[in-house]
Amino acid sequence: MSALFDHHVHSDRSDGTVSLADRAKSVAIRPHGVSDHYPWRDKLPNEDAVKRYIDEASRLGLRVGLEYDLGVAPPLSAGTRESLHYMIGAIHQIELDGKFIKYDDAGAFVKGRLKSWKERERFTDPALQKRILERTLEVVAEGIDQEHIDILGHPTFSALQALGDPERVYPEEWQERLIDLCVKGRIAIEINESYGVPHREFLMRAARAGALFSVGTDTHFEIKPLDKTDAMIAGAALDPGRFMAGVRRLNMSA
């Protein structure tokens, strides 16, 4: 089982099934923090709830992050951001023409929870694909500049992932632009066990560009081995010294 720090772990403070107290016990299995969704319905709907979450998790000895819903979540004050050990920015839907295109069904299909994906045909439209990709870059840039995220969570997950070959749906030029945003912004690129992203060619491009990386199970259940992640790291020959370990990017060497 990998000893790399797992930044992306959910609890029952959002859509996870495990309490903060039990997460504090499972760090003995593998080092990890907690990073629940923000915002999340009635559990983490606002900044006051986030503050209570940080206080309680910290008292239990946990490293505390958030999975900040880029393009959706309301801004956090500088003080609240600074009280987090790290913040993951992730995209779960994209806004085009004032309407949100949600990725829930595509994600369930990628994870094998759905046997078919009804919206496949819609996302084969090249014009829509281009608009999604361009808007994704804009939202990530805003997350870096305005929300000061530390990690880009499941970086190449979108509805397009469910179409298949990532080298086809994510043009090399787009991949390089996303990597450049992360490198210049000094944010880590997450290797996400749950979605199995990013793919090997992306990781190799990122490594050549001098990117930082992080590990994220994205688990909502018990802590399990990072078999897929370990294989992805080995396949791209990534340097373990380039991985975050529960501290902000500014505390990492260049």
Q: What is the pLDDT of residue 250?
A: 52
- The mean of the pLDDT values for the chain is 95
pLDDT single digits (tens) 164-184: 999 999 999 999 999 999 999
pLDDT single digits (tens) 65-81: 999 999 999 999 999 99
Q: What is the pLDDT of residue 252?
A: 46
Alpha-helical segments (H) within 161-226:
166-169, 172-185, 200-208
Q: What global pTM score does this model have?
A: 0.96
Nearest to 32 by CA among 3, 55, 68, 66: 3
pLDDT band, very low/low/confident/very high, at 251 (cuts 50, 70, 90): very low
Between the two ends of the chain, the Cα-to-Cα distance in Å is: 27
With a cut of 80, say whether residue 210 has pLDDT above it: yes
β-bridge mates for residue 44, sequence order: 40
Q: Which residue reads 């004050």 in tokens?
A: 77
With a cut of 80, say whether residue 2 has pLDDT above it: no
- Look up residue 206 and give its two tokens: 């990122």
